[in-house]
Chain A
């Protein structure tokens, strides 16, 4: 990224300033890394009440074609999820892949609920990748399908065990949604698109709204006693505890979804049929196992291991930490990184090298902190 470019502001810039946020450059935007309460307090608040995040820097777009099957197949040529069988009003996580099966970005795809929107898919991509993603998608679309960017929209996330209680007061339809479901709705009369999803491991919502209405929506949510504004610092520690990947760190052009332990996001039909970039590598890795795999690590002691720290076994370096820090919920250091599959079983003892010292670590199952998504109990289970 060219750092000489002036930094962009989201529609909530003034609101962050008024709250006393510390603003930092992130993906070309000035974003709040923390508010005066600080990252630990913000993290704890989100795990116990409801945290409000401005994620308007993320890239929103529509993929529009003549009918669902045509649009879904166009996206299936770029990403390995089953979009064809995605039901109206449902959302799916996937990855844009290179021909080698590396990850260009990870993103969310929603099939709109309204029948009149048939043929449209709603995309949300990472802020730092959005220009590249949109160019990549647009360059690979068949005739009759267009990518429509939505810079006129902001995105807010409300996350935490009290998020649904808060939403019920302003947008009751949203409070009735299941995890990974989405609807168009109104919030105090403001038109919004709401999904039951997020990046914290908690129950919660992501709310897309026109830029002009974003400050009103922000203020209405923040006025609720359960809600506090949460910065990007806590967003990062929350997603790490939830074992979720951060693009550019835990996943990148070199990692495949199988290495990244994201095989759950490639539905059965796609695994069998292929037909997505890198299918050869991914099908091979599914059958034979990948050369390395993403794992969680619990470190003994209190010293955190950061991205780039070497992971060792029996004195030999076997991998690298891709995200690491202090887990406020566990009051202990945690990390994610890549190791050979033979060393990936939970309980495997490894070392992480921090400033020349070998710190004892144990492979932990992910997520580190149990997720609390609003999933309907499965019938007949």
Chain B
């Protein structure tokens, strides 16, 4: 059973075993509008929870994407290079950014579950 967790910066994490799939939430892609470029980290990069992990560029502006958890980048979604619009089409599916091998899985407990994230989004409206 996989579960999705979110940050208040609108990244999501879907844990599959000891690997976490990371991307930006559907709400985030809606707010950004058309995504035209995603700068992904290099494989092997060590990221720290809350540190810069990627950059997503819409037509209008560049936004930083922070690592929701600490770990090592073990895979990136190379499809985004040619098709950054996947982030708009399926932010929490084919538009994923990277996979992290978690160094501190306990950090997961600090993230919002789906229900808590929805409540958080309601406060932004």
Binding site for B on A (CB under 8 A): 33-34, 38-40, 43, 233, 236-237, 302-304, 306, 325-326, 328, 333, 355
Contacts and interface: CB of A to CB of B under 8 A. Distances in A.
B34 A302 contact: no
Nearest to A43: B59
A40 B39 contact: no
Contacts of B62: 304, 306
Interface in B25-59: 33-34, 36-37, 39, 55, 57-59
A233 B33 contact: yes
29 contacts: A33-B60, A38-B33, A39-B33, A39-B34, A39-B58, A39-B59, A39-B60, A40-B34, A40-B36, A40-B59, A233-B33, A233-B60, A236-B60, A237-B59, A302-B36, A302-B37, A302-B84, A303-B37, A303-B39, A303-B57, A304-B62, A306-B61, A325-B59, A325-B60, A326-B36, A326-B57, A326-B59, A328-B59, A355-B55
B81 interface: yes
Contacts of A43: 59
Contact of A304 (B34, B37, B81, B88): B37
B75 to A, nearest CB: 20
A233 B39 contact: no
B33 A304 contact: no
Contacts of A326: 36-37, 57, 59
B83 to A, nearest CB: 11
B59 A233 contact: yes
A108 B39 CA distance: 40
Contact of B36 (A34, A236, A304): A304
Nearest to A33: B60
Most chain-A CB neighbours within 10 Å: which of B34, B55, B58, B62?
B34
A176 B59 CA distance: 35
A123 to B, nearest CB: 29
Nearest to B81: A302
Nearest to B59: A39
Contacts of B59: 39-40, 43, 233, 237, 325-326, 328
B100 to A, nearest CB: 21
B43 to A, nearest CB: 17
Given A233-B33, A355-B55, 14 more contacts: A38-B33, A38-B34, A39-B34, A39-B59, A43-B59, A302-B81, A302-B84, A303-B39, A304-B37, A304-B57, A306-B61, A326-B37, A328-B59, A355-B39
